[in-house]
Structure 1
Amino acid sequence: MMKKTRTLLFCLLLFFVVIACLPLILPLNNYKPQLEKRLSSLLQAQVSLETVEFSYQPWPVFTLNNVKIDGEAGKIEQISVPLSLFNVLQHGKSLKNVTVAGVKLKPALAFTLPKRFAALEQDRITLGDVVLTKASVILDQGELGPIDGVIRFAKNGAMDDLQLADKQGHLDVHIKPKGDNIGVTVQASSWELPLGYPVVFERLYLSGEGSPEGLLIDDIRGETYGGVLSGKAQLTRQTDWNLQGQLLAKGIHTEPLSKIFSPATFVSGRMDAEVQFVYSAADYLKLFAHPQLDASFLLRDGAIHNMDLVAQLRAGETPAGRGGQTRFDTLKGKMLIRDRSVQLQGMALGAGKFNAQGAVQIAAGRINGSVSGRLQAGVLAIANQIRLSGDLSKPALNSGNAARTGEQPPATSVNELLQ
């Protein structure tokens, strides 16, 4: 038993001595033409590499440096293959723990990778998980990335799944071969979408199919602010990037959502909404900088906080300072966003004997519009029409006019209505 143990230790020692001497024994760069030919055959592309090196990191590793695929279609800074006992004994027919760093691929090449990896199956080559670091897709303007991930392969060598995830664990993306295209699923939790405002989704799920022409997202489901979302979207790119789609929202708790846009004057209640959206830009990094949204919404059993419209009607003038609230049974209307211009149209508030209508536009820090209210108190009806105009960065808005049925029209004003 002792003799066998010593023999095993001697073999292991000899193995590591050979590995340590490999850089001196083998002129590795002499094998570069054979490696280029082999990789070109496997990936069905013209592959070239700058150097082949051997190093310790701290374990022995072979590294292929500055690999190019079909000229400028794809670039890889390093492909590292550990010289483990498993990899050596498999004689190149099976490799594990391969790391690929600094990947830059053009979209046309990226979408053909599943088919190119299928050649591995024909040559009976299998791979374990391949770790990707600093992977990017090269675009006409800039890059999409970098991001880290893992490529997993099936037992027959075909690509099975590409998983991408953020370091915080909030985002998980899976990309799988799907015929000539790819299937994409995205799952996110406690995730803030890059829409210019800190809107957070408790849960978000998207699935669709990608091709060189774009991405069709046929299933969107989410949970945000106590409500649920569903919808569809499509991302295309010809001259510009274009994202358009529809969302249906149910039971959204509007108080935390509206405070994102106006922490002083906000709205509470539960909201249902239908949203049509379009984003377009030449640079994908600026895709959400120019929104176009059309939304129809209905709020139930809520209040407009820090604004008391009923008190203004009864007093015929704006009370000193701000405060109070306007409760409502329903509040509905349409919101149109065009770049940095916001229009609220067809606004209708119903609260028993009190109702109000209005339309306003906010652009370049200024507001223009009008609001009218009506309170039925027995046989007496009080009506008030208020014009709004002014600079939202200043503490007051210009006053308008008012009228009461059967009485002289009293003067009224609105101070800091939307501040």
Structure 2
Amino acid sequence: MPLFSTRLASSGRRAVGAVMLAGALAAPLALAAAAAESWLGLQVTYADRGYAFTPWPAIELRKVTIRTAQEINIGRAWVTPDWAEWLTSLRTNRIKVRTDEVTATPAALARLGTIDGKSSYKVSTLAFDRLKLRLGDGTLDLPAGEMDFAPDGTLAHVRIRMGDKLTFEAAPAGDKLNVLVQAGQLKWAGLPVFLFDSVAAQGVLDDQQLVLDRIGANGDGGAVSGRLRLTLTDRYVMDGELKLASLRARDFLSRTYPRTTVQGDLNALVKFAGAGTTFEELGASLTSSGTFVIKAGAIDRLGLLEGMRKASAGPAGGGLTRFETLEGGFSAPAGKPVSVSIRRMDAGAMHSSGAFVLTDDGQVRGNMSGTLRLPGGEVSTRGFSLTGKVDSPTLEVR
């Protein structure tokens, strides 16, 4: 067959396919010829329209704009009728939409939860490959998900699954979005000491920031609660606090210092803050500080009692130091050693305090002091230097 005949045949097949596609869609979805219509009571415009198989017949719209006070922009959208309704009643004004990328502010999405006027079509679902939320001067990039709409055509909620264990949901609330984040297990490199199980976080997303003010999780045999705020200016800015209740101290600390010698029932208040142009930079910049109380615990290889009994200067022996209560605070600037203060450690007749720093490789450097009340009523006081590593600390009587 001559080349021009082959091209003609191919062109003819495409033309026939286009005609069949147009015919399939014409009855259930007769979109207006003009590049404007209304969804959800809002004006919708687009630059161009064609036909496609995705794999079902669909009308393809390009450069779509949903006009709220703050526009919602869509690169490409593939529109199909609600086939279930069409096949049962032979008529429908409900449509399903799939898009490549949706760009919007939280307030614009929340506006989809209201009806401004009569709609040409009611959207039942809108699936997207990417969602870009404009917050302040920045953009929060989210992966694929979908929007479900109520029977009246208003937005019911947005649902995004991030991997196998994390889901993000949002629903209109005035000019904001109520947010729910859930995860089976969550660990973030920015706060490596935390390993959360069964996380649920609720909050609000507006055009400036995400605030999760009700965070609840399990971890290390105890409970974690707190709040988090993420603001976007020219970079990500985060701050928040977490309360730890009855966590196993050894499990919690071993994620930073694998051979920790501390055990007990840990309660703490941890505050953190950081900023970065990416989430990786944000994680690397996080600083944290807080207070802690460990109950009914022990420190292995720290011979405080032996040191208190020692009559002369020199290394104290090892052993297990049990205590009823250990109270203190810490500060962990990004990229710098952790500073720890022990305000009070009660171990029967012995009371101790001290301060030291911990480096990333587990080196310890600082000082301790203690008092021991003897059976006869006398009081013995000692000062110690603290060196070595976190898994094998060394006390020396000064």
TM-score under structure 2 normalisation? 0.76
Correspondence for 1:292 among 278, 287, 295: 287
Between the aligned partners of 1:287 and 1:34, the Cα distance in structure 2 is 49
What pairs up with 1:230-309 in 2 under 5 angstroms?
A: 230-309=225-304
Tell me, yes or no, if the aligned pair for 1:203 and 1:223 is still in contact at 8 Å: yes
Tell me, yes or no, if the aligned pair for 2:266 and 2:294 is still in contact at 8 Å: yes
Tell me, yes or no, if the aligned pair for 1:383 and 1:402 is still in contact at 8 Å: no
Tell me, yes or no, if the aligned pair for 1:67 and 1:78 is still in contact at 8 Å: yes
Gap change, CA 1:375 and 1:141, over 3 Å in 2: same
Tell me, yes or no, if the aligned pair for 2:81 and 2:93 is still in contact at 8 Å: no
Quote how far apart the aligned CAs of 1:65 are: 4.6
Gap change, CA 1:213 and 1:117, over 3 Å in 2: same
Q: What residue in structure 2 maps to residue 375 of structure 1?
A: 372
Q: What residue in structure 2 maps to residue 154 of structure 1?
A: 150
TM-score under structure 1 normalisation? 0.73
Between the aligned partners of 1:34 and 1:82, the Cα distance in structure 2 is 16
Gap change, CA 1:247 and 1:35, over 3 Å in 2: farther
Between the aligned partners of 2:300 and 2:35, the Cα distance in structure 1 is 69
Which residue type is aligned with residue 140 of structure 2? L
Between the aligned partners of 1:91 and 1:38, the Cα distance in structure 2 is 18
Q: What residue in structure 2 maps to residue 6 of structure 1?
A: none
Q: What residue in structure 2 maps to residue 387 of structure 1?
A: 385
Q: What residue in structure 1 maps to residue 52 of structure 2?
A: 54
Gap change, CA 1:201 and 1:269, over 3 Å in 2: same
Specify the SS of the correspondent of 1:202: strand
Q: What residue in structure 1 maps to residue 26 of structure 2?
A: none
Q: What residue in structure 2 maps to residue 94 of structure 1?
A: 94
Count of residue pairs brought into register by the alignment: 370
Tell me, yes or no, if the aligned pair for 1:62 and 1:83 is still in contact at 8 Å: no
Q: What residue in structure 2 maps to residue 333 of structure 1?
A: 328
Gap change, CA 1:64 and 1:146, over 3 Å in 2: same
Quote how far apart the aligned CAs of 1:113 are: 2.4
Q: Which structure carries more helix by proportion? A: 1
Gap change, CA 1:47 and 1:78, over 3 Å in 2: closer
Which residue type is aligned with residue 219 of structure 2? T
Quote how far apart the aligned CAs of 1:144 are: 3.1
Residues 283-336 of structure 1: CA deviation (Å, up to 9, x unaligned): 45432322233312111101123433333444565478xx74321111100112
Correspondence for 2:130 among 116, 134, 158: 134
Tell me, yes or no, if the aligned pair for 1:32 and 1:52 is still in contact at 8 Å: no
Quote how far apart the aligned CAs of 1:142 are: 8.0
Specify the SS of the correspondent of 2:36: helix
Specify the SS of the correspondent of 2:185: strand
Gap change, CA 1:95 and 1:308, over 3 Å in 2: same
Tell me, yes or no, if the aligned pair for 2:63 and 2:74 is still in contact at 8 Å: yes
Q: What residue in structure 1 maps to residue 35 of structure 2?
A: 36
Quote how far apart the aligned CAs of 1:352 are: 0.4
Gap change, CA 1:116 and 1:34, over 3 Å in 2: farther
Q: Which structure carries more strand by proportion? A: 2
Gap change, CA 1:92 and 1:369, over 3 Å in 2: same
Specify the SS of the correspondent of 2:144: strand
Quote how far apart the aligned CAs of 1:268 are: 1.3
Correspondence for 2:345 among 339, 349, 355: 349
Give me the identity figure in percent: 21
Structure 1: any 5+ residue segments left out of the alignment? 1-18, 404-419
Gap change, CA 1:34 and 1:308, over 3 Å in 2: farther
Quote how far apart the aligned CAs of 1:264 are: 1.5
Residues 88-114 of structure 1: CA deviation (Å, up to 9, x unaligned): 666661124x3223x1525x3x43023
Between the aligned partners of 1:44 and 1:194, the Cα distance in structure 2 is 44
Which residue type is aligned with residue 161 of structure 2? A
Q: CA RMSD in A?
A: 3.9
Which residue type is aligned with residue 103 of structure 2? L
Which residue type is aligned with residue 295 of structure 2? R
Correspondence for 2:201 among 195, 206, 211: 206
Gap change, CA 1:83 and 1:239, over 3 Å in 2: closer
Between the aligned partners of 1:401 and 1:26, the Cα distance in structure 2 is 86
Which residue type is aligned with residue 371 of structure 1? M
Q: What residue in structure 2 maps to residue 406 of structure 1?
A: none
Tell me, yes or no, if the aligned pair for 2:316 and 2:396 is still in contact at 8 Å: no
Q: What residue in structure 2 maps to residue 164 of structure 1?
A: 160
Quote how far apart the aligned CAs of 1:257 are: 0.3
Residues 59-115 of structure 1: CA deviation (Å, up to 9, x unaligned): 333333565678x9765454233467447666661124x3223x1525x3x430232
Quote how far apart the aligned CAs of 1:155 are: 0.5
Quote how far apart the aligned CAs of 1:206 are: 1.7
Q: What residue in structure 1 maps to residue 223 of structure 2?
A: 228
Gap change, CA 1:35 and 1:385, over 3 Å in 2: farther
Specify the SS of the correspondent of 2:281: helix
Quote how far apart the aligned CAs of 1:256 are: 0.6
Between the aligned partners of 1:127 and 1:148, the Cα distance in structure 2 is 18
Specify the SS of the correspondent of 1:261: coil
Quote how far apart the aligned CAs of 1:178 are: 0.6
Which residue type is aligned with residue 81 of structure 1? V
Gap change, CA 1:271 and 1:68, over 3 Å in 2: same
Which residue type is aligned with residue 109 of structure 2? L
Tell me, yes or no, if the aligned pair for 2:72 and 2:108 is still in contact at 8 Å: no
Tell me, yes or no, if the aligned pair for 2:242 and 2:269 is still in contact at 8 Å: yes
Between the aligned partners of 2:224 and 2:58, the Cα distance in structure 1 is 49
Structure 2: any 5+ residue segments left out of the alignment? 1-13, 24-29
Q: Which segment drifts farther, 152-161 or 285-294?
A: 285-294
